[in-house]
Structure 1
Amino acid sequence: MSNNETSYKDLIAFHPGSYIEEVIEDLNITQKEFAERLGVSPKMISKLVNAEESISKETANKLAKVTGISISTWLKLQNTYDIKVIEIEEQQKQDEVSICEMIDFKYFKQNGFVENKTYSMKEKIVELRKLLRIASLSYLNEFNNAVSYRNTKGFSEEKNIVNSNVVLELATNNSRNITDNKLNKVKLEKILPEIRKMTLQDPRKFYPELKEMLLECGIILYGMPKLKNASLNGATKKFQNGSVLLLITDRNKSSDIFWFSLFHELGHILNNDFYSDHEDKEAYKAKEENADLFARNILLPQDKYLEFIDMGRYTEETIKSFAIEMKIHPSIIVGRLQNDKKIERNIYNYFKINYNICLK
């Protein structure tokens, strides 16, 4: 979008400065020379071209004399632009209300992001803009291809995209300045076995240690409470200073999902699979599949897992025995068997632990 164009969805407003720019190009002169011919300052022409100033009756009169285009035409162009901008602003306001209605505002009060009081719709919108550091809530309704998400299957509806972006923006804004450490993939690879061993530990012990270990590698592990209709378990984002955000939510945070989500995101980081705004769906899908494969192989090496599958016996005893052999929590084996449809989703769930991790 050019400086003299305002757009929102299918609404586009062209500032008359775009036509002035075309006139200058057709005359093959500089903005300074055009300003001299018009009898105004170069600064004023620059502001007109960049849609920072409106065409007044006086300016329209001068433009008519220089260009041969009537005063009424110049004023009509300005009026058309002004009306279209109002339409855009009204549409944005309506959309902001619709988006705000998709977001459970109690979440922000319950988790201390805003004061625990009653808010009008207008106040909610203002608080959300401030909290998320965005000019308009309409920013939230676009799927962010520049971020890798764990669990994108639930992003078919706008409310899922909106609420997932809310969680991501909160985590991003609260973690971007936590460290100046740049991502160190060599360090990260070295500590992967230690992280894997943590599956056998209580979260009260491993979580603080895990955060410190990752921080040394330039990775900010940031946990967020689940938000209704937010369809992500984890996400990664690279900051400008070289550090990386690794967001984990407590959505469906049984032990098997937590560890798979964590290693999935670490797979993105190690493979440098950070996303581009211009990436197509197939490339996005391929990166997700690679991260899934990385997590599966770290947690349960493929050759060992296939040997276990070949036995064809999925009892409490065989799962426990295999977990001891792999030095990993049995819930991870149960989760893998359920995901691969070797056992039903309701079988052996007593192996799983619901983590009550102190997030943030």
Structure 2
Amino acid sequence: MSNYIEYNDRIAFHPGYYIKEIIDESGITQEDFAKRLDTTPKNLSVLISGKQKLSVDIAMKLSRMLGTSIEYWLNLQKEYDTIVAEFESEQLMVEERKLFKKLDYKYFRDNFKLPDFPRKIDEQIKAVREFLDVSTLSVFNRRDIAVNFRESASGLNEINTIKANIMVQIAINQALEINAPKFNREKFNDAIEYALTLTMEHEKFYPKIYAKFREAGVILVILPNLSGSKINGATKKIGNNIMLMVNDRRLYSDTFWFTLLHEIGHIINKDYGISFEKEIGEQEQAADEYAANKLIPVQEYAEFLKNGQFNKYTICEFAEKIRRDPAIVLGRLQKDKIVPYDDRELNGLKHKYRVKINLDSH
């Protein structure tokens, strides 16, 4: 590092620059000056080169030795630090602009009421940065910024990582605003059973689940999907609570409920992190099995398969027996390759919807 810096037609000198001038004009060696200053030659050399900040102690010794004020030397350091900070901030902005090109400001504007700022990229960046509560958007390049990426998460590119981290950050920030009692596993298990009674209720089920989970210390956040994130959901411990996030990318009731129960499975297994589409591994398999068995009890499903008849009537009859939405039964049969995904008549059982969330309601 140099002992001076130039930026935007401005120049600032590190205090070490002035100390070097004083030594040169004094006619004594740097070593002798260090002895008179009551410091080591090495410490003085590092300070002169600009590699070390001027301490209050050295500022005091310089003022006593040279008849200046302590504030004079500390102000030189402050001015230098300010210019360096401005330079580094501009460098960060350059990186942010590159990253921001991969995002769509419309997502933040339309879903979270950020100001419009048409064609004002730097203003948009500032708005998103403040909304996400980070010093720079560049932090979202890291896989450890908020929630762990499981080892099985492979094949993700830079933009997938950035967008997944952003979605999790939004969920965490929303969860932090919620007051909830300490996580209680027993109450959460009861809340899960209650949620399963709502699979046939396709309107206004979210507030009911949200309230029940919150009583158990689990804060449920459903977010609008950020295209390209490849994220299904995420879980994270936040203080005494647990954040459970899923997005609304799953447009059909069967896939939505499976995704929700999958993330619940991660909580039950004490395995927190991000779930991505097409992710594999023991942790994902365990969460899949939990979701499948909770949505459709194992024994009842085995008996149903023995029947060998899978049409609208038998599917609805079985769904009514286990008190589940018929789409969940159909989705399981399709996943198990017992019935085709392209059966238009059977697919009529599925409900297409997005969970409309009032982001101001919590």
Structure 1 residues 149 and 236, CA, compared in 2 at 3 Å: closer, same or farther? farther
The RMSD of aligned alpha carbons is 3.6
Task: Return closer, same or farther for 1:325/1:122 CA change in 2, 3 Å cut-off.
Answer: same
Alpha-carbon contact 2:235-2:273 (below 8 Å) kept? no
Are the equivalent residues in 1 in contact too, given 2:197–2:323 (CA < 8 A)?
Answer: yes
Matched with 1:189 is 189
Provide, for residues 65-108 of structure 1, a one-character-per-residue CA deviation record: whole Å limited to 9, x for no partner. Answer: 454559777645639xx9x9999767643431221111111112
Ranges in structure 1 where 5+ consecutive residues have no aligned partner: 1-12, 17-52, 277-283
Residue 327 in 1 paired to residue 323 in 2? Answer: yes
Change (3 A) 1:200 1:116: same
- In structure 2, do the counterparts of structure 1 residues 108 and 73 end up closer, same or farther at CA, with 3 Å as the change threshold? closer
Seen in structure 2, the aligned counterparts of structure 1 residues 58 and 115 have a Cα distance that, compared at 3 Å, is: closer
Structure having greater relative contact order (Cα 8 Å, sep ≥ 6): 1
Q: Aligned partners of 1:182 and 1:216: how far apart in 2?
A: 9
Corresponding position: 1:212 with 2:208: no
Contact 1:149 1:232 in 2 (8 A): no
Is the contact between residue 154 and residue 231 of structure 1 (CA under 8 Å) also seen in structure 2?
Answer: no
Q: Is the 8 A contact 1:147 1:275 kept in 2?
A: yes
Aligned counterpart, 2:103: 103
Aligned position for 2:70: none
Rg larger in structure: 2
Secondary structure at the aligned position of 1:220 is classed as strand
Code of the residue aligned with 2:338 in structure 1: it is K
Q: Within the alignment, does 1:57 sit opposite 2:56 as a pair?
A: no
Distance of 1:190 and 1:327 partners within structure 2: 16
SS in 2 for 1:78: coil
1:97-176 to 2 correspondences below 5 Å: 97-144=97-144, 147=147, 156-176=156-176
CA drift at 1:319: 1.8
Check 1:148–1:114 CA distance in 2 against 1; reply closer, same or farther (3 A cut): same
Aligned to 1:9: none
Deviation at 1:297, TM superposition (A): 0.9
Deviation string 1:117-158 (CA, Å, 9 cap, x unpaired) is 4142211221111110111111112234863789x8796122
* Structure 1 residues 294 and 63: CA distance shift in structure 2, 3 A: farther
Kindly, what percent of the aligned residue pairs are identical?
30
- Contact conserved, 1:146 with 1:275, CA < 8 A, in 2? no
Distance 1:177 1:87, change over 3 A: closer
Distance 1:71 1:220, change over 3 A: closer
Q: Shift in Å at residue 199 of structure 1?
A: 0.5
Q: Which residue of 2 aligns with 1:300?
A: 296
* Structure 2 unpaired stretches of 5+: 4-12, 24-28, 53-80, 275-279
What does the per-residue CA deviation read over 1:205-251, in whole Å, with 9 as the maximum and x for residues that have no partner?
Answer: x22211111111111122211222222232222112x1122212111
Question: Per-residue CA shift, 1:159-184, capped at 9, x if unaligned?
Answer: 22212222221222122121141111
Cα-to-partner distance string for 1:266-297 (whole Å, 9 max, x where unaligned): 22222322259xxxxxxx94332222211111
TM-score (norm 2): 0.71
